[in-house]
Amino acid sequence: MKSAFVFPGQGSQSVGMLAGLATEYSLVRETFQQASDALGYDLWKLTQEGPEEQLNQTDRTQPVMLTAGVAVWRVWQSMSDLKPAYFAGHSLGEYTALVAADAIDFVDAVKLVEKRGQFMQQAVPAGEGAMAAILGLDDDLVRALCAEASAQGIVEAVNFNSPGQVVIAGSSPAVKQAIALATEKGAKRALQLPVSVPSHCELMKPAAEQLAAELDKIDLRMPSTPVIHNASVTAAKDISELKALLAQQLHSPVRWVETIQWLANQSVDTVVESGPGKVLAGLNKRIDKTLNALPVFDPVTLEKLQQAVGEG
């Protein structure tokens, strides 16, 4: 068995997440307490009680999702000797992967992604940017309709999540135009997403510059286990490339399909999603049906993973 651990990004958060796991494993609450101490507010209370609008605010969501992914990873580490061959993360999840790979200290990462969220929010005033999911069209057609809609402003294909599932981002008028074009061209669904920031498109370049300056202030190390980056579908060769890829990620597409295909080509047969929900596990199975795609977020899924690796 050769495994990779992957970490979800924004969109997998929900009020009450990880409650079951926290009941059985004190490490979950301890991890959230560590993050709360670093940020100055009660992160666990926010995840358990909401309000949902606050949990979905990008500068809150990012620390929450990073902390949740690290908490699940720590629980798994506390009970298993299984060491993954690779790590990867979807968008924000890349930072969680770097924490798991000992490339960045957890507290540094929590503070960094809070700032990342603030920079992203500041780059595009609320209401001016948008994202939408386009289902049932091939990638090239989505790129073409973005090019056509760009007469209305910036719009780009930004998340290649699974075959036939692409997310677009840009200025609100251009995204609305692209949605209309996608519907015309026979998309199964084309719907705007409830997000306040148009991630991974050109509009994020100012945020990327601010992020690059922050990355220079913190202690980054080369990962102990290779982390496959969204922007390049490779592991960084040195620290300067690692920093460059993290900054570039903000305005570059998330190449998730290629990432999972790359892992499969390295003979990875089991991809474990560490964090709340099972969004990535679903995508991973659609990308490569031969993969054992397992989410871990509660005692039941944890037990399933133990059985899958012969430790249950």
Query: From its phi and psi, is residue 126 left (phi > 0), alpha (psi between -120 and 50) or beta?
Result: beta
Q: Which of 306, 293, 297 is nearest to 69 (CA)?
A: 297
Q: Which residues contact 140 (CB under 8 A, 6 or more apart)?
A: none
What is the pLDDT, as a whole number, of residue 298?
97
Q: Is 251 a catalytic residue?
A: no
Q: For residue 160, what are its two tokens?
A: 């290649």
Q: Which of 63, 195, 73 is nearest to 127 (CA)?
A: 195
What is the pLDDT, as a whole number, of residue 312?
47
pLDDT digit string, tens, across residues 247-263:
999 999 999 999 999 99
**Average pLDDT score over the chain:** 96
Using the Cα atoms of residue 297, residue 298, residue 301 and residue 304 in order, give the sign of their dihedral: positive
What is the pLDDT, as a whole number, of residue 80?
93
Residue 34 has pLDDT above 70, yes or no: yes
Residue 62 has pLDDT above 60, yes or no: yes
The 3-state DSSP class for residue 175 equals: helix
Query: How distant is the alpha carbon of residue 124 from its chain centre?
Result: 20
pLDDT digit string, tens, across residues 202-254:
999 999 999 999 999 999 999 999 999 999 999 999 999 999 999 999 999 99
What is the pLDDT, as a whole number, of residue 311?
61
DSSP secondary structure letters along 124-158: S-TTTEEEEEEESS-HHHHHHHHHHHGGGS-EEEE
pLDDT digit string, tens, across residues 121-131:
999 988 899 99
pLDDT band, very low/low/confident/very high, at 306 (cuts 50, 70, 90): very high
Give the global pTM.
0.96
175 - beta bridge partners?
none
Catalytic, out of 90, 200, 229, 251: 200
Mean pLDDT of 265-270: 97
pLDDT band, very low/low/confident/very high, at 180 (cuts 50, 70, 90): very high
Catalytic, out of 3, 12, 36, 91: 91
Q: Which of 6, 115, 7 is nearest to 66 (CA)?
A: 7
Residue 110 has pLDDT above 80, yes or no: yes
pLDDT digit string, tens, across residues 96-109:
999 999 999 999 99
pLDDT band, very low/low/confident/very high, at 172 (cuts 50, 70, 90): very high
Mean pLDDT of 57-83: 95
Q: Is 91 a catalytic residue?
A: yes
